[in-house]
Amino acid sequence: MAANLGFGALCLAFLVSLYGAAAAVVGAARHSAAWVGSARRAMLLTFPLLTVSALSLLYLLANGNYEVRYVASVTSSSMPLYLRLTALWGGQAGSLFFWSWLMAAFASAVMLRKWDRDGEFLPWVILVALVTLAFFLGLSIVVENPFVRTWHLGSGRPFYAMFPPLGAQIFRPANGSGLNPLLRHPGMIIHPPMLYLGFVSFVIPYAYAIAALITGRTDDRWMRVTRRWTLVAWLFLSLGLLLGGRWAYDVLGWGGYWGWDPVEIAAFMPWLTGTAFLHSVMIQEKRGMFKQWNMVLIILTYALVIFGTFLTRSGVLTSVHAFARSAIGPLFLGFISITFLGSLGLLVYRWNALRSDVEMTSIFSREALFLLNNLLFMSILVACFSGVVYPILSEGLGIVGDMIPAWADVFTGQQKTVGPEYYENTTGPLFAGLLLLMGVAPLAAWRHSTAKTLGRAIWKPTLVSLAVPLLALLGGMRHWAALLGFWLAAFVVAVTVYEFWRAAWARHQLHGEALPLALWQLAGRNRRRYGGYIIHLGVVLMAIGILGIEIFQTQTQGTLAQGETLALGEYTITFERLNVFDTTDGRNVARATVSVRRDGDYLGELYPRRDYYYEAQQPVTMPGVRSTLEDDLYVVLVDWQPISTLGATFKVYHNPLVNWLWLGGLVFILGTMVAAWPDHDPELRRAAQRKSAPEAAQA
């Protein structure tokens, strides 16, 4: 019953989406408010319909209805209730449906705002959102249906169908195969929803941009309306990437947080274009420039959102993050091609209308530095996109190579891979350039700035920041990349603190306020600017953590008998004991106890372990970690001998400064929330001021 109800609501939502998209086109063509209103109500109806469908699927997951194929593939009787519920996005079919549910929620929220000033945008925003939603709902209905059940006819093999032939009976397995053990970490419970929220949120500014192109509105109204949507999308996507890094650090047992995995990069690419867009729109708002470029960026961001979803779910890439190979790949490629080419066609049609009359007057101006910032982001994107696409193309060329003569044996048919060294060597200098610009750009003036004026503003923070690499040199650090990185971090901090102090001191002089109060008032009056400064500080802290683990990480490995020790730098671990036992949730746990000393001083015990899940027949490594702001000691249980010998193999990593990465992530998120915090509409405030001015003059 629940499966039929959920599938029925899913089909209704799909039909309503198609109707709403058609009604929006008819309403726009006939200038009919009635048709547009009907399309708007259709949009609003999709979310409650999909909520009914989602609740039905959650009910099936919670109650272990294993006759439903999706339920049997991601849950089991040994899993706790919260894991059975979060398995909603733990598999291919469920994650696609979850994407649609969130998309309907965001699209419906957009429909609830007042459209008095933007009525001409409304039908086209509805059209873009509902076409995107209908595509994903179509995938869930036709290709990856989460409500398909298992049936059998007599003694024949079980088969899957939504509506079976006459005489078929439900086949209910005794138990499910359970959720992938790697996905049972708390980070993976939150990480996918954050990524999906970031993805679907970016559909909204894209929809407004397409509406602006269709209607010929060449001003920046669409951008101002969607500014907060863009910030929210960027916040969720950033949080999803951070949580994914933390999950990799805690579960995969390799001592790192980011492996330049293709699916990691697939989520990172729309973040790059979204970040470039957030910087670039400030130039359009302030100077009326980069209208064409901003359209390109938001179209690219939408295309990369769909492309990233395709890479994760089509199975074309081999990754710990990716789902199995699926038939949805060609459909995704078709949808990406149609939407991308259609968007580019509209952009070319309106290209001349988007030209700006304002020209850049100085290469040292703030807008010029923001443009350079965008070019660096695009360079990183090109490097990442090339590295992700190359294995796919190499495999495709290999298939072709098998069909042609032997002289073309260069085509091997094997999927080539692009390793972390390529990404690090290519993007490292570009990220360093971005850090430098984070310090220089706030000191540059708008419109016109010279090297002399910029140098006059920059010399003080530069002088202060040089103390950091100097102290590092005196302390014995000789790694040039580390010295450069720490100087760049110190430079950005010095500039940011200098900007805070200079503005607060000016307000203190003008109003007589205490410096903390002056700073609070400044941040409240310009949340976007000061939220951006906080984001920069978060990036600096993250950069310190990245420098620490990437440059100064050390590791060792050894097999120890009980009571033996293994040394790594100042640290020594001693193997105390090993316990192997079964748990009530279907795991076999091998947990080692090691004591940790630093320079002979006892610090405590760590408990690295290996959990083997019987249902999935898969092990999961859980490291033992001692964390401080200074470093992490990260101990992995690699292997062990029978209890009679009590020998175990450990791999030990020393990760300096890595926790600055997570601390910086928290500051980063805080800054984004400050920048996105709701404020009074400045246009309404100016209108109120204009209205009250004559009254004040009369009084």
Q: What is the 3-state secondary structure (H, E, C) of 491-557?
A: HHHHHHHHHHHHHHHHHHHHHCCCHHHHHHHHHHHCHHHHHHHHHHHHHHHHHHHHHHHHHHCEEEE
What is the rounded distance in angstroms from the CA atom of residue 430 to the CA atom of residue 529?
24
On the CB side of 252, how many CA atoms lie within 13 Å of its CA? Answer: 18
Contact 47, 104 (CB under 8 A): yes
Please state, in angstroms and as integers, the Cα–Cα distance from residue 119 to each residue in 97, 104, 130, 346, following that order: 30, 20, 17, 20
What pLDDT is attached to residue 515?
Answer: 81
For residue 693, is pLDDT > 70? no
How far from the centroid of its chain's Cα atoms is residue 681's Cα?
28
What pLDDT is attached to residue 152?
Answer: 81
Residues 373-382 have a mean pLDDT of 95
Instruction: Please write the tens of the pLDDT for every residue from 504-562.
Output: 888 888 877 888 888 888 777 788 888 889 999 999 999 999 999 999 999 999 999 98
Confidence of residue 687 (pLDDT cuts 50, 70, 90): very low
Instruction: Please write the tens of the pLDDT for every residue from 381-423.
Output: 999 999 988 877 765 544 333 433 333 333 344 445 678 889 9
End-to-end Cα distance, the chain: 71
Q: Which of 269, 286, 215 is nearest to 388 (CA)?
A: 269
3-state secondary structure of 103: helix
Q: Where are the beta strands (DSSP E) in 448-502?
A: none
Q: Find the helix packing angle between 262-287 and 227-251, rounded to 10°.
A: 150
What is the rounded distance in angstroms from the CA atom of residue 211 to the CA atom of residue 346?
10
Greatest mean pLDDT among 269-278, 503-512, 686-695: 269-278
Residues 26-46 have a mean pLDDT of 95
- For the chain, the average pLDDT equals 86
* Residue 147 exposed, middle or buried by CB count within 10 Å (0-12, 13-18, 19+): buried
Instruction: Please write the tens of the pLDDT for every residue from 147-199.
Output: 999 888 776 778 777 777 777 778 888 888 888 888 887 777 888 889 999 99
Please state, in angstroms and as integers, the Cα–Cα distance from residue 181 to each residue in 178, 211, 532, 585, 586, following that order: 8, 44, 38, 12, 11
What pLDDT is attached to residue 404?
Answer: 36
Instruction: Please write the tens of the pLDDT for every residue from 494-520.
Output: 999 988 888 888 888 887 788 888 888
For residue 239, is pLDDT > 80? yes
What is the rounded distance in angstroms from the CA atom of residue 135 to the CA atom of residue 346?
21
The H-or-E segment that residue 47 falls in is helix 33-63
What pLDDT is attached to residue 179?
Answer: 85
Spatial CB neighbours of 295, under 8 Å, sequence gap ≥ 6: 209, 213, 347, 354
Contact 332, 310 (CB under 8 A): yes
Residues 293-316 have a mean pLDDT of 86
What pLDDT is attached to residue 408?
Answer: 33
Residue 619, beta-bridge partner list: 612
Q: How many CB atoms lie within 10 A of CB 227?
A: 19
Instruction: Please write the tens of the pLDDT for every residue from 663-684.
Output: 999 999 999 988 888 765 444 4
Contact 130, 110 (CB under 8 A): no
For residue 324, is pLDDT > 50? no
Confidence of residue 646 (pLDDT cuts 50, 70, 90): low
Spatial CB neighbours of 416, under 8 Å, sequence gap ≥ 6: 390, 391, 394, 395
The pTM score is 0.88
The CA dihedral of 203, 204, 209, 211, to the nearest 10 degrees, is: 110
What pLDDT is attached to residue 317?
Answer: 54
What pLDDT is attached to residue 192?
Answer: 87
For residue 109, is pLDDT > 70? yes
156-160, 235-239, 284-288: least confident range: 156-160
Please state, in angstroms and as integers, the Cα–Cα distance from residue 503 to each residue in 118, 175, 507, 520, 530, following that order: 36, 64, 6, 11, 11
**Residue whose pair of structure tokens reads 């920059």 in the numeric block:** 458
Its sign, for the CA torsion 230, 235, 237, 241, is: positive
Q: Which of 243, 262, 349 is nearest to 307 (CA)?
A: 262
Buried b (16+ CB within 10 A) or exposed e, 82-113: ebbbbbbbbbbbbbbbbbbbbbbebbbebbee
For residue 289, is pLDDT > 50? yes
